[in-house]
Structure 1
Amino acid sequence: MQNFDNLIAGEWRAGASYSPNVNPSNLADVLGQYTQGDATHVDAAVAAATAAFPAWATGSIQARSDALDKIGTEILARKEELGTLLAREEGKTKAEGIGEATRAGQIFKFFAGECLRLSGEVLPSVRPNIGVEITREPVGVVGLITPWNFPIAIPAWKIAPALAFGNCVVL
């Protein structure tokens, strides 16, 4: 049986223990053993995201767009494989799993376009000869805890816009 570790700062890191991921529709089907992260994993992930933030936040919007588009393209290219895995993991139908994977890929591709449409606003002021300019800036590292029942679509809805607008993410 395959063990799966946490990806932190480009490295796979094992935890102290593993927990099996079992298909709820077929209890004999164990997808794998997944490492149980702890506070040291969280601290390392936050530190890595914090270190990556300055370069990501100030990098070009084209680079962000290209990265998100590549993620979306890869998810869509693997939607059958991912959909089958999602069906095994959650007990969904295969069609539901493929639909969820498809939606996740579409979300990343949508926000790839949004990277290139970043804009602010210029508003009038009540004071003469004064303008108000609104710009949007990245806030930093975003931490996500997402539900188990839509494990690719809901994270995509949160990760893609956070990355598009210059933030880093710990999931």
Structure 2
Amino acid sequence: MFEWRFRYILSLFFILSLVLGGRVVYLTLNSENVDRADLITVTRTPLSFQKLNSHIDELEEMSKNIDTYTLGEIKDITKKTTYLLNQVGIELKAQHESWSDIQNLFEGDAEKFKQLRVSLDKAQQLNNKELLRIKNVMDQANQRTITEELSGTTLSFVFGVSTSIVASYLIKMFQRRKRKVHNNIT
């Protein structure tokens, strides 16, 4: 019974470790998180600078009263100075790499923007050409020639006269029928 519980708990810890490890890998390798970390690294002042500034006060104090320090204390302060300078170098190198990554990102975005701008200009030119072509077609469709005007006027005159003649004939015919029906009733 104890062995079973122990294996179960061990399995849970193993699964939890895998899940947390996968999450760490995702957060570490996700490009958005990497870019965010680069921005933070570039904009912040290295912590080792602050530590080095406070250590400089200690070095100044030591230089004023060097006689009161033992050789071991001087050796320790020198080691600390060397360590802090190495830390400053590491942080400055990390800042430089982050700056390079951000600069490459900006250059890539600038190139994409240029390509997008060129595509947009081409689309605008095509739209302008299409609009001009449509306008020309519409203008040509709206422009009537002299022969079209004359033929339209002639046709409307002929249609108007023929309609008048047919209307007159129909009126006379209905009047005759009306008289005939009226005479038959009386």
TM-score scaled to structure 2, two decimals? 0.23
Higher helix residue share: 2
Higher strand residue share: 1
